[in-house]
Homo-oligomer: A and B are copies of this chain.
Amino acid sequence: MARRAPSPHLDPSHTATPVVAQPLPRKPPTRVRVEHLGPAVDGGAVPVAASLGETLTLSADILRDGHDALRAVLRWKGPGDHSWSEAPMTHVDAASAGVRWAAPLTVDRLGSWRWTVHAWAEPLASWREEVRRKAEAGQDDLESELAEGAALLEAAAKRAKSAKGDKAARDADRKILTDAAAHLADRAAPAADRVATALASDVVATADRHPDRSRPGAPADEGRLRVDPVLARFGSWYELFPRSWGGLQGVRQRLPALAELGFDVLYLPPIHPIGRTNRKGRNNTLTAGPDDPGSPWAIGDASGGHTAVHPDLGTVDDLEALVVDARALGIEVALDFAIQCSADHPWLTEHPEWFFHRPDGTLKYAENPPKKYQDIYNVDFDCEDWQGLWQALLEVVAFWIDHGVRVFRVDNTHTKQLAFWQWLIDSVHETHPEVVLLAEAFTYRAMMQELAKVGFGQSYTYFTWKSSKAELTEYVSELASTDERLYFRPNFFVNTPDILTEELQTGGPATFAKRLILAATLAPSYGVYSGFEHFEHVAVRAGSEEYLDSEKYEAKERALDGPLLPLIADLNRIRRANPALQQLADTTFLETENDALIAYAKRAGANIVLVVVNLDPHQVQEGVAVVPAALGLPPSFEVVDELTGEQFGWQVGRNYVRLSPGQRPAHVLRVVGA
């Protein structure tokens, strides 16, 4: 730009610097902006976790300067699709002058989906709107406008001609549009008549079939979805140590009973050979007796490591047979994937470079001071041959997938490299999107979220330590919040071989029953570690959450005959019958006017379930369940208690509730005919 000399008036410091034009774009930039695709996690960097068959509402903000009419389509590619599919979007908050457009998408295949939004200004639609407003305002001098409309209709007719599809239909469309154009341009006809023609609905509909996308908006960034099997969201887990059930063959014999109880997943702690060196004795003592079997998490001995089966449990073929029989009964077998080795694992001699050595050459066993795991060595993700290590670990998972396993419970995930998990899970899901991985991680919340973001389909949670009404309400509300449930799926285990909470140690059978009901009705996935149904509750010592005579260090004689099993079977049946209990999204906590009573409503479509639980294992508790009007229920309605079959009349507002502690300290009420 030419500059004149600075004026004598002006402070030179304000004029010395000329304005310099930034480089101009080469092509005319789009006038339509498509932004804020949703749902999205971390702005689209992390895929949203969906489950098979789900219908998602995908949406975006669409803006353009000025007043032109906009059109938008949702475009998507499912797994393996080579071309984009397309469906029109609706301007969902036009009424509130918002800019959100949306369309539904049903995800009917497992794996990775991409989606985006294309939007454009539609000149013909804009013109129609302008002419409509002018005609309504009584303007009669519309010759210029009509000429403009005729030109737009001619262009639409040209697009009709070159459109794909049935030639006869194209020719018909073209004729409608050229006729309308001729009529608009016909000065012999009165303007009002011609305007009416321009606005006629058949012309409008025909033109809409042939939009002008010559100046589309820039395609939006892409949204990503990861479609997992329903099991990633909804399932009942049972955990058992095969060595206490007669090995893999013995477990196989229990499958019909487990299916009868309604379990979906049977999770086995590691089934591999166990190291001898530094083997732990009963109750985690440092020296094992000759008959002590050791901890299954001390993986590997001279006979094999992560791809071997402990000879006392059976063979790889036995595992396969178990998987196949289980699947036939609707149960998936989950193996434990624990990245650690006993001192006798073949990798320590074959790949000593994968383990961390101190300057004095000693190996470092696993520890989290003051806790020590003298029977376990961790691999070193910072080692030189990290690529070989990653590859070997993937091969372990691939080996068991080859042998039919589709679910993995992954041990201590938060102490391994996130980039490694991402790579491993991506590799698995590329050809096996049906595989579900449950992350074991009891650590700070952000790390648990991160593990979900790199691809774990489920996660253990803090549920075992959430006891009071306030704690449960806050925790579940957070998990059910929009942000979190887009990628994080909780699995509410009521106990684990590591976690016998103080509440279970001291609360008696009523506590076991209430914790079971809470887990099974609050979370779509929940789990039970065998022994819970027998009210096992004795800790190794005061202040510890470890079981006395823990099954981690010895074999037991187990049988499926615990007194809590009928309640478990009922809960699993109720969960399968009520879609409301199969998801987390629509959970509303209800006022009870008593801190010992917790109440919540869950809904999926027409299915509404109201749950009230007595949190006090010792006393009868009375209160109310206040059904809010926002639930949309009629002023009074019938509910049936799915646990007892009893029917009650309930209402919006306060409903009196009285619950005894004991084996079934809860109402699980399905709204009838809602």
Contact check: which of B19, B33, B416 meets A397 at CB < 8 Å? B19
Chain A interface residue count, Cβ-Cβ cutoff 8 angstroms: 96
Tell me the minimal C-beta distance from A111 to chain B in angstroms. Answer: 12
B147 near A33: Cβ-Cβ < 8 Å: no
| 368-414 of chain A: CB within 8 A of chain B | 368-370, 381-382, 386-387, 390-391, 394-395, 397-398, 401-404, 406, 414
Residues from chain B with a CB closer than 8 A to the CB of A387 are: 24
B418 near A33: Cβ-Cβ < 8 Å: yes
Residues from chain B with a CB closer than 8 A to the CB of A147 are: 358-360
| 1-21 of chain A: CB within 8 A of chain B | 1, 3-4, 7, 9-11, 14-15, 17-21
Knowing A98-B446, A431-B18, A432-B17 are in contact, say whether A417-B31 is a contact too (CB < 8 A): yes
B395 near A324: Cβ-Cβ < 8 Å: no
A542 within 8 A of partner (CB): no
B370 near A17: Cβ-Cβ < 8 Å: no
A18 near B446: Cβ-Cβ < 8 Å: no
Mask: chain A, 53-73; 1 = CB below 8 Å from B; 0 = not: 000000001010111000000
**Stretch touching chain B among A262-270, A422-430, A570-578:** A422-430
A428 near B19: Cβ-Cβ < 8 Å: yes
CB closest chain-B residue, reference A23 = B423
CB closest chain-B residue, reference A30 = B419
**CA–CA, A381 and B360, complex, Å:** 73
Residues from chain B with a CB closer than 8 A to the CB of A358 are: 144-145, 147-148
Residues from chain B with a CB closer than 8 A to the CB of A99 are: 444, 446-447
A133 within 8 A of partner (CB): yes
A506 within 8 A of partner (CB): no
Knowing A143-B360, A369-B133, A395-B1 are in contact, say whether A431-B98 is a contact too (CB < 8 A): no
A561 within 8 A of partner (CB): no
Residues from chain B with a CB closer than 8 A to the CB of A414 are: 65-66
A29 within 8 A of partner (CB): yes
Tell me the minimal C-beta distance from A34 to chain B in angstroms. Answer: 12
CB closest chain-B residue, reference A321 = B9
Residues from chain B with a CB closer than 8 A to the CB of A395 are: 1
Mask: chain A, 287-323; 1 = CB below 8 Å from B; 0 = not: 0000000000000000000000000000001001101
A646 within 8 A of partner (CB): no
CB closest chain-B residue, reference A61 = B446
B317 near A398: Cβ-Cβ < 8 Å: no
CB closest chain-B residue, reference A16 = B431
CB closest chain-B residue, reference A14 = B404
Residues from chain B with a CB closer than 8 A to the CB of A137 are: 369-370
Contact check: which of B10, B134, B390 meets A404 at CB < 8 Å? B10
CB closest chain-B residue, reference A390 = B24
Residues from chain B with a CB closer than 8 A to the CB of A416 are: 65
**CA–CA, A317 and B144, complex, Å:** 44
| 77-119 of chain A: CB within 8 A of chain B | 97-99
**CA–CA, A129 and B416, complex, Å:** 19
Tell me the minimal C-beta distance from A541 to chain B in angstroms. Answer: 17
A215 within 8 A of partner (CB): yes
A171 within 8 A of partner (CB): no
A43 within 8 A of partner (CB): yes
Mask: chain A, 25-52; 1 = CB below 8 Å from B; 0 = not: 1001111010110000011000000000
Tell me the minimal C-beta distance from A402 to chain B in angstroms. Answer: 6
A622 within 8 A of partner (CB): no
**CA–CA, A406 and B14, complex, Å:** 9
A482 within 8 A of partner (CB): no
B15 near A427: Cβ-Cβ < 8 Å: no
CB closest chain-B residue, reference A26 = B387
Residues from chain B with a CB closer than 8 A to the CB of A151 are: 359
Residues from chain B with a CB closer than 8 A to the CB of A198 are: none
A164 within 8 A of partner (CB): no
| 130-146 of chain A: CB within 8 A of chain B | 130, 133-134, 136-137, 139, 143-145
CB closest chain-B residue, reference A6 = B402
A22 near B317: Cβ-Cβ < 8 Å: no
**CA–CA, A15 and B398, complex, Å:** 10
B35 near A42: Cβ-Cβ < 8 Å: yes
B381 near A31: Cβ-Cβ < 8 Å: yes
B418 near A97: Cβ-Cβ < 8 Å: no
Residues from chain B with a CB closer than 8 A to the CB of A324 are: 9-11
B148 near A31: Cβ-Cβ < 8 Å: no
CB closest chain-B residue, reference A19 = B398
A97 near B445: Cβ-Cβ < 8 Å: yes
**CA–CA, A35 and B136, complex, Å:** 54
Knowing A147-B360, A417-B29, A418-B31 are in contact, say whether A10-B391 is a contact too (CB < 8 A): no
B320 near A7: Cβ-Cβ < 8 Å: yes
Knowing A99-B444, A324-B11 are in contact, say whether A20-B415 is a contact too (CB < 8 A): no
Residues from chain B with a CB closer than 8 A to the CB of A360 are: 143-144, 147
30 contacts between A and B (CB under 8 A): A1-B398, A7-B320, A9-B320, A9-B321, A9-B323, A9-B404, A10-B320, A10-B323, A10-B403, A19-B401, A19-B428, A22-B427, A28-B382, A29-B419, A31-B381, A35-B42, A42-B43, A61-B446, A63-B450, A65-B417, A65-B447, A99-B447, A133-B369, A134-B369, A134-B370, A137-B370, A139-B370, A143-B360, A144-B364, A150-B359
Spell out A's residues near B (CB within 8 Å). 1, 3-4, 7, 9-11, 14-15, 17-22, 24-25, 28-31, 33, 35-36, 42-43, 61, 63, 65-67, 97-99, 130, 133-134, 136-137, 139, 143-145, 147-148, 150-151, 215, 317, 320-321, 323-324, 327, 358-360, 362, 364, 368-370, 381-382, 386-387, 390-391, 394-395, 397-398, 401-404, 406, 414-420, 423, 426-428, 430-432, 444-447, 450
Extra A-B contacts (16), CB below 8 Å, given A21-B394, A22-B430, A148-B358: A1-B395, A7-B403, A7-B404, A10-B324, A10-B403, A19-B431, A20-B427, A22-B423, A24-B391, A28-B382, A63-B418, A63-B447, A65-B414, A98-B445, A99-B446, A134-B369
Ordered nearest first, which 3 A-B pairs have the shortest CB separation? A137-B370, A29-B419, A133-B369
